Structure 1
């Protein structure tokens, strides 16, 4: 061997050893966490580095999931503990001394074996590089990047959320942010990184001020999950509008011309039988949910019981112990992708719960379910139960049945949110079929017993429903071909099961007569009349026995709010019959008549029932309650759960009545509803016209003779709400011209009627004169007369807010 050859060998050896020595030197003073994507933690600098195996990992796709393990604590802001962000399909790409993290476009795709066809799609639609990393060390097999700047970024869009909710302008303060090493871990299929991030700014809103010790500095924890993609053995299942499942949609440009461009599959967990041909079999791998150990008893047991209801549905399709609920192990991390978690979240106010999932965007496979339950919700149902029954008649009062009602609701809530993480959508028509689904929002089914007393024993269901069994059969049953899945759908339709989800049930302009939130029964009008009787009984009994000894009298108002407004959600159900339609998610070849208008008889019944809720007798607070509630005791204060007030510190029963009346009128005078009513009347003259609807409203309110006592003030306030509603409707830019002409005519006729009421002895004489001037001013100025401060209802829903 020549000296030259020997020298070359030495040089080559040095070239190999130098990177190895460099990597060894880099790793020497750092903690190393080995797993899916290994991490180096430098305690001295507070930095975290990610090791990418170039051979296996560069340009290998994986899932990136952001989340928020430590939240802000305000439901109104919507940034809660355990909240999941977007699930992204990503890959690392090395470019010189940088590594990009590219988010791939999963909506536009070409499901084809032709690589060039797939490439054409990739080049036609944009992707997003969501971060660029600095390479700090590398060799032939490994690349090490500084992950710290990305970990300390606002991946959860917290600053944008605070701005959108009018809580101030904030940005990250890096000097007060850093790695949270306790929750930075690595597992075989996922790597978990977490940081404590502080946002500083100004202009904090009231919600933010209420939950932070210093509203100029908001500190939360943000979490990153890097997740290995599952194998390719998962079988997708096609979406059907009547499946009851959510859908994962994408545009497949490789689809045949005679096939739909947009493909839809359902999200679901992977589940298969150990014995595929057996009638009953255990699962190859059961679906297991783990409960947050921070949940106290007896709520803990209630949450487990409710979540376990789903095993009834899996049993019905031939599985044994396929769905399980366990306590989260002490050494487990809720953010670990291996655990489906039911998490207990504290907030300053009650509010929504969530059922979210980590879903593979390519296939819809659910990799991890994550349930977030608000801890204050059980207290609201308990408060409603106390208000309904006023049980504190002695020092040793037993409130076990009121607690039982609250825990019954928590069981249902647990089942509901777990259902979402199984891929299941809301079904707001389930109450028509007699509690057919836990995926509905249930109003407490409170009744009067044989003695006329309030009975709480049947307030909530205690099991899974028939609709839920249908959904699980479609999503997790053995069938996967089109014919078999269609047979499951037809079996549910033939049973008469109804289905209507969020887009058709939530809007105030909603028209379907079955899809309602917080209602009961197949006949909305009959149920409203029944609920009104329960409300009447509860208000009759309401008083000192509603609160415990030692509670300030002023706190009676808290329990009064949901009882006085006990009818509010059934009003929302009834109003949908006005200009309403009966329809379903009809499919050609499966359904015959997809659409019909609600009959004139049903519409008239609904209008009568709604106008009854505007009567002064109905809205006037019982005198014994008004006399009982003083201003707030020292140390206590009004909250968003309190009634609105125009009387300073003193309880205001008239504004409470105004809020309730405004709720009904706003629903009844919805521009879209009136546009439908106008058209329906032109087709069928038996259906009330817009003019007739307004006339009937005026007859039951403004044109009513004055009563006496506090009812006079209530009637005047309702009258003003009716006029304000009509004037605002007339000037509403969204009102169609044909309806505007009807409203104009009604206001002209009302003005003429008011001029005829000249008796100064009439208690309403002054209001009538003022109303004449308001109508005239409105026409002259082309605007509403007075922009009143809104007297809206308190949140007050049976246990949630706008959505759960």
Structure 2
């Protein structure tokens, strides 16, 4: 017992001694001034002063106020190079409203909750909403030195954290298990910057892991580790003077917003506003007036000519829209000088971004989380897209018959680049897609245009394949977003723009209605053309037939292996694929608009029965063996891949190994049509619209069965194609019949069709001799119907090569 007391006494004495020593030395540490601590460091003055220690590779930041909010944004100045993974050069990570908060000798970076707010500015109301919803502590820092009210923190750890979610993206895309490696990551000492309104801290981040997937292996020199650069931007809040503008469903602008918990009971708590740049006209009696600060975009000098000039020209089209809104030269486009950092928050940029494979372009923005003011427009243009347009044109025109002059094809591709530049810049101005504009004579650059190829004197013409200049819809959208109204004029002014849209006959339908396979809107489609979708498909089918009839080695230049003809054939053979989607949406289609009560008339009407029937008839043509059959003259021109070349994602899938498989090619094209025709949502609409004497699901399935399963073909190639299309058709019926999410009325129609098919099949088999080639075909169908689970598990259907984006 005595021993225990003695040990306790000793421990107490040691503890007291330790505390005294700590107290003795602590003042000396905390008392170290910023001047003393940073005397050997580089000072970079600005919004936040940065002190860079090149020896230890650390960055220190001076905080002089804990009461001011600012904006925290992240991005990737250097990318991974994989379209499929998506970590592109210039990728933006969004913006947050943050502040510094000190607790003792620790400083926290805290993100405010901007999703929930109170319009009641009373202290009690503001405190209530603040206490009701969480904020987020993002990072913590120990004070390194202080001087007066200023403190110094080490922000190295802030910069070298995975803010962009790189490791998660790798996992989500099934490319392996990778984590940030602290030992292989560091500050980028060459990119530590600070300006009056923004501070930029860059780091070099390395991720280590294993089991790298195909996409990652194709772009990283070492499959176990890859290195990117990440930018952290600390941005001063914009000066007062910006007025948020209310969103309208027919404005054509994107919607951003928040919940106002103090909204009156007769109003929604959801508040919607549009993102837009700050722009104000100078007073003038002239029709057009310059802006105090024009919107300026800079084009990446890394884009080669003549692409670079095309980008400048296309992006500059937006000045036409700003002129329509009363501005003179308020939108300008210049070449990015090498003195400007494209990631700097102060500059709007158009980046020319390389990837390993063809992929999408993007228009993104950094916005003020409070007001949704756009602080930086940032366009990412994929460099391989222009080549896809060039390949399509070459496949249709066969320009290499007499030399290698592809000037017409190149000009068409550059025309698309101009339009693409305008499109993506539009997004950075806050503008949404308008997928109805292609049915209105190209009213907007914010649609996805399909090139308008034409047959003139038995030749494919590329003239006017893409429209030039900004569209009428685009001018109206800019009027809504950027017209400089006084506070008393704004509501009436905005309403007049929406009324003008109606007077001009302009429609607006965006992504959520146009992208789904089961979409119903008759004019909201991607990569389509024309006011009459069926008529345009008819025209495209004729063009496709002409191109296939004339398909030859003249679509590739001399010095190219014949095996490369395959990728040109992909584009010609599947030329109709996008218009098929447009026509399919007429079936079970519903015309509607984004009408607002008290302002506009509601449109809500089923597509006419005759229109739906015409659409079905035309789509059935794309399933016929005669349409899907490849001529022997084409098959005989395309050998297996030459040595040193290989199949890619842009090639046809094959069940025959290295050789071209014309039947898998046919099946993939037919499956594309069937995916749209037999979409469960579309079939359910058809099952329901039968009560109003419109095209019904039973009629659709009866016609498909009659045209796919029952015809008898004498041509052996057509027989084989019929088998493939039947396999795809029946597998979908079986999937629908066993599906757990099918509406009962849809399931009933499918079950009825399967029962009728089984009955017909028994009779057909009974009438067919075993020696007949048709007998095996019928028995295969019978086996599929008898063993539906085997079909769903074992059937691997060939797929089309990637389509979007086409240019």
TM-score range, shorter chain: over 0.9
Match of 2:391 among 383, 397, 422: 383
1:477 matched to which residue of 2? Answer: 483
C-alpha displacement of 1:436: 0.4
1:550 matched to which residue of 2? Answer: 559
C-alpha displacement of 1:790: 3.6
CA deviations on 1:198-227 (whole Å, 9 max, x unpaired) are: 000111111111111111101111110111
2:186 matched to which residue of 1? Answer: 178
Kept in 1, the 8 Å contact 2:360–2:805? The answer is no
Counterpart check, 1:492 vs 2:498: no
Measured in 2, the distance between the counterparts of 1:228 and 1:43 equals 26
1:44 matched to which residue of 2? Answer: 55
2:738 matched to which residue of 1? Answer: 731
Measured in 2, the distance between the counterparts of 1:618 and 1:707 equals 15
Q: How many residues align?
A: 776
Kept in 1, the 8 Å contact 2:32–2:145? The answer is no
1:259 matched to which residue of 2? Answer: 267
Change (3 A) 1:120 1:550: same
C-alpha displacement of 1:762: 4.2
Correspondences of 1:493-508 after superposition (within 5 Å): 493-508=502-517
Measured in 1, the distance between the counterparts of 2:609 and 2:782 equals 33
2:112 matched to which residue of 1? Answer: 104
Match of 2:134 among 126, 139, 159: 126
Measured in 2, the distance between the counterparts of 1:548 and 1:797 equals 25
C-alpha displacement of 1:592: 2.5
C-alpha displacement of 1:634: 0.6
Correspondences of 1:418-437 after superposition (within 5 Å): 418-437=425-444
Match of 1:746 among 753, 769, 785: 753
Measured in 1, the distance between the counterparts of 2:123 and 2:666 equals 67
Correspondences of 1:178-217 after superposition (within 5 Å): 178-217=186-225
Match of 2:643 among 630, 634, 643: 634
2:359 matched to which residue of 1? Answer: 351
Kept in 1, the 8 Å contact 2:247–2:274? The answer is yes
C-alpha displacement of 1:784: 4.1
- Classify the secondary structure of the residue corresponding to 1:174: strand
Match of 1:411 among 418, 422, 438: 418
Measured in 1, the distance between the counterparts of 2:690 and 2:503 equals 33
Counterpart check, 1:770 vs 2:776: no
Q: Which moved more, 1:271-280 or 1:235-244?
A: 271-280
Match of 2:696 among 679, 689, 711: 689
Change (3 A) 1:40 1:314: same
Q: Which moved more, 1:499-508 or 1:747-756?
A: 747-756
Q: Which runs of 5+ in 2 are unaligned?
A: 1-25
Kept in 2, the 8 Å contact 1:755–1:769? The answer is no
2:577 matched to which residue of 1? Answer: 568
C-alpha displacement of 1:603: 0.8
Counterpart check, 1:662 vs 2:671: yes
Measured in 2, the distance between the counterparts of 1:40 and 1:219 equals 25
Counterpart check, 1:757 vs 2:768: no
Kept in 1, the 8 Å contact 2:31–2:145? The answer is no
Correspondences of 1:147-166 after superposition (within 5 Å): 147-166=155-174
Measured in 2, the distance between the counterparts of 1:570 and 1:193 equals 48
Counterpart check, 1:90 vs 2:98: yes
Kept in 2, the 8 Å contact 1:508–1:670? The answer is yes
- Classify the secondary structure of the residue corresponding to 1:585: coil
Measured in 1, the distance between the counterparts of 2:749 and 2:803 equals 35
Counterpart check, 1:460 vs 2:466: yes
Measured in 2, the distance between the counterparts of 1:319 and 1:753 equals 70
Kept in 1, the 8 Å contact 2:687–2:749? The answer is no
2:41 matched to which residue of 1? Answer: 30
CA deviations on 1:667-711 (whole Å, 9 max, x unpaired) are: 1111111111111112x12x1221211110011111111241422
* CA root-mean-square deviation: 1.6
C-alpha displacement of 1:151: 1.0
2:534 matched to which residue of 1? Answer: 525
C-alpha displacement of 1:137: 1.1
Measured in 2, the distance between the counterparts of 1:513 and 1:577 equals 5
C-alpha displacement of 1:789: 2.2
1:10 matched to which residue of 2? Answer: none
Measured in 1, the distance between the counterparts of 2:759 and 2:30 equals 94
Match of 1:397 among 393, 404, 419: 404
Match of 2:454 among 402, 422, 447: 447
2:616 matched to which residue of 1? Answer: 607
- Classify the secondary structure of the residue corresponding to 2:33: helix
Measured in 2, the distance between the counterparts of 1:321 and 1:379 equals 33
Measured in 1, the distance between the counterparts of 2:29 and 2:184 equals 37
Measured in 1, the distance between the counterparts of 2:717 and 2:238 equals 67
2:231 matched to which residue of 1? Answer: 223
Kept in 2, the 8 Å contact 1:731–1:784? The answer is no
Measured in 2, the distance between the counterparts of 1:112 and 1:626 equals 73
C-alpha displacement of 1:276: 5.4
C-alpha displacement of 1:338: 1.1
Q: Which moved more, 1:269-278 or 1:317-326?
A: 269-278
CA deviations on 1:238-285 (whole Å, 9 max, x unpaired) are: 100000000111111232222321111110001111125542111100
Kept in 2, the 8 Å contact 1:706–1:764? The answer is no
C-alpha displacement of 1:438: 0.3
Measured in 2, the distance between the counterparts of 1:425 and 1:580 equals 23
TM-score (norm 2): 0.94
Measured in 1, the distance between the counterparts of 2:53 and 2:279 equals 41
- Classify the secondary structure of the residue corresponding to 2:190: helix
Q: Which moved more, 1:511-520 or 1:115-124?
A: 115-124
Kept in 1, the 8 Å contact 2:377–2:428? The answer is yes
Q: Which runs of 5+ in 1 are unaligned?
A: 1-14
- Classify the secondary structure of the residue corresponding to 1:435: coil
C-alpha displacement of 1:786: 4.3
1:61 matched to which residue of 2? Answer: 69
Measured in 1, the distance between the counterparts of 2:698 and 2:41 equals 78
CA deviations on 1:772-803 (whole Å, 9 max, x unpaired) are: 1221222xx6x745432241111133525xxx
Measured in 1, the distance between the counterparts of 2:97 and 2:792 equals 54
Kept in 2, the 8 Å contact 1:241–1:585? The answer is yes
C-alpha displacement of 1:348: 0.2
Measured in 1, the distance between the counterparts of 2:203 and 2:86 equals 20
- Classify the secondary structure of the residue corresponding to 2:59: strand
Measured in 2, the distance between the counterparts of 1:722 and 1:732 equals 15
Tell me which stretches of 4 or more aligned residues in structure 1 moved more than 6 Å. 15-20
Measured in 2, the distance between the counterparts of 1:492 and 1:46 equals 57
- Classify the secondary structure of the residue corresponding to 1:392: helix
Q: Which moved more, 1:594-603 or 1:189-198?
A: 594-603
Change (3 A) 1:791 1:18: closer
C-alpha displacement of 1:538: 1.2
Measured in 1, the distance between the counterparts of 2:58 and 2:609 equals 70
- Classify the secondary structure of the residue corresponding to 1:183: strand
Measured in 2, the distance between the counterparts of 1:212 and 1:789 equals 31
C-alpha displacement of 1:115: 2.4
Measured in 2, the distance between the counterparts of 1:141 and 1:16 equals 17
C-alpha displacement of 1:548: 0.4
Measured in 2, the distance between the counterparts of 1:407 and 1:429 equals 24
CA deviations on 1:60-104 (whole Å, 9 max, x unpaired) are: 111111101111111111110000002111111111121111111
Measured in 2, the distance between the counterparts of 1:560 and 1:37 equals 58
Correspondences of 1:287-326 after superposition (within 5 Å): 287-326=295-334
Measured in 2, the distance between the counterparts of 1:777 and 1:338 equals 64
Measured in 2, the distance between the counterparts of 1:786 and 1:112 equals 59
1:7 matched to which residue of 2? Answer: none
